[in-house]
Structure 1
């Protein structure tokens, strides 16, 4: 995007904020907030176009990004399958069943694997058991953990139980042909990027369009990215383990004393890692699933 185009995008967003202010005066605070987020995102993106992101070792002090995992040769498997998860003991709700059916209908030629408590043992790699704290995680955070585990050890795709908007064949092709480690969809605005302190937080906001969302992606097994993803995930669970024993999670975040915040085990790990390894990460709009009416 040229500087002129970036400035035009900012002006358009400002006009929308002005219009939203008029609407908000009639009681639409949600509209005003959405327009404000759009303006903020446009401002950060205009800065990114002037200063393209470049990661250098040690640029973020006291960040887990400084703890490199053993480098991978990047030749892990990319099987044409998509894992999806249901970590509860009950059946899929009707809306989720529709999402699963849509996944199977749209992804013709790609195997869809629903992993549940009844069959998760089939995917556990000998010598690499699930973390001891896993059973004390909320159902949502179990899903965060399992998507990392499955993609690191087995490779392929992951999707929430939501309807896809497009076939994933081109994304699998891109991952296999371009020597990438992960292909996802771009985060939609600064509102969706993980919160982080100081420079890292500013860089995530500025570069939100190159950061992959967590609802669906395809990944190469045992890449440097997935090694560092799993390493940081397990470090956090090592620390949280004793607290989780005292205050295990429920379904989402309804347990007051539960010690894990919403994004601790997913976005706060994969978003910074995507900046660190952005040369081996790609984003494409056709991986964005249907994020409406899925609950």
Structure 2
């Protein structure tokens, strides 16, 4: 038994050493990326996102953003949207998260968007894309922020009152987006391209898309909605042949990658509009036990 115990202890020490090495490697990688981010400079230049062959990647869109749009300068409504777009009832953990968001933000309007009330928020002059009905529940979100503005939160437990964050963004008309920063380079939406490497390098200046506040009718939200709908145009036929059969789009040949309509649009745009993005750690939700 002593030999077995000794072997187990040695195995445990090796596990701890390996975990420590992995953590040190990640810290070293983040430090290297932070130095690279400084070398990139603060400005935006699409030319540094060209591939080795001199072309932009097929899904690259930052060079097509319309520079002629102007900021409407509207106040951000003190409202937080959350969504449950499936036909099934909220799971116990999601219901607890919703109650947490409401309790933490008693002074704000927390709106749960469901299939029953979605049409109340769809703008008559801008209906939902025809492919919407084929999307997974995860992808049926974030469509309201351009026209209505306000906060967005995944159904995860809130950690702070958002009222001071609404005060902060409304106090600065040049701020179009306020969100909590990504903690690690691997947390940003993944792209195997120069754009992806810059996003990883700048991860501490990029807001996550789980919880944020957006000013309505800005060039940022306009470009976001336009690109999402362009991607839905591209995938429409595939989505019609292989619509989502589960909330996460895991089965049935569902063609859309996980981040295609969210992080891979929302986060690159922050490089394009970096001067209009602000960060606020108070918006970071709890990540454990949310499903």
Q: CA RMSD in A?
A: 2.0
Q: Residues 243 and 252 of structure 2 are in contact (CA less than 8 Å); yes or no, is this contact kept in structure 1?
A: no
Max radius of gyration: which structure? 2
Distance, in Å, in 1 between the alignment partners of 2:107 and 2:153 is 16
Indicate the residue corresponding to 1:6 in structure 2. none
Q: C-alpha separation between the residues in 2 aligned to 1:101 and 1:117?
A: 20
More helix per residue? 1
What TM-score does the superposition give when structure 1 sets the normalisation length? 0.85
Match of 1:85 in 2: 83
Secondary structure of the structure 2 residue equivalent to 1:140:
coil
Q: Secondary structure at the match of 1:79?
A: coil
Give, in angstroms, the shift of residue 36 of structure 1: 3.4
Q: Tell me how far apart the structure 2 counterparts of residues 24 and 138 of structure 1 sit (CA, whole Å).
A: 43
- Residues 264/163 of structure 1: CA separation in 2 closer, same or farther (3 Å cut): same
Please list every run of 5 or more consecutive structure 2 residues that lacks an aligned counterpart in the other structure.
Answer: 1-10, 51-55
Per the alignment, residue 156 of structure 2 pairs with 162
CA deviation vs aligned residue, 1:205-255 (integer Å, no higher than 9, x gap): 110011110100000001000000001000000000000000011211321
Q: Find out whether 1:227 has 2:222 as its counterpart.
A: yes
With over 3 angstroms needed to count, the CA separation of the structure-2 counterparts of 1:57 and 1:205, relative to structure 1, is closer
- Which residue of structure 2 aligns with residue 53 of structure 1? 42
Structure 2 distance, partners of 1:32, 1:267, is: 29
1:73-117 residue CA offsets vs partner (Å, 9 max, x unmatched): 241341000000001111111111111111111112110000000
Asked whether the equivalents of residues 164 and 290 of structure 1 are also in contact (C-alpha less than 8 Å), the reply is yes
Match of 1:26 in 2: 15
Instruction: For 1:27 and 1:254, locate their aligned partners in 2 and report how far apart those are by CA, in whole Å.
Output: 34
- In 2, the alpha carbon distance for the partners of 1:150 and 1:259 equals 23
After superposition, the Cα gap between the structure-2 partners of 1:172 and 1:74, relative to the gap in structure 1 and judged at 3 Å, is same
In 2, Cα distance between equivalents of 1:30 and 1:283: 30
Structure 2 distance, partners of 1:232, 1:96, is 29
Trace 1:6-25 onto structure 2 (pairs within 5 A): 25=14
Gaps of 5+ in 1: 1-21
- Give a deviation string over 1:37-81, Cα, whole Å, max 9, x none: 333222211332455432135443422001123412241341000
Q: Is contact 1:76–1:155 with CA below 8 Å preserved after alignment?
A: no
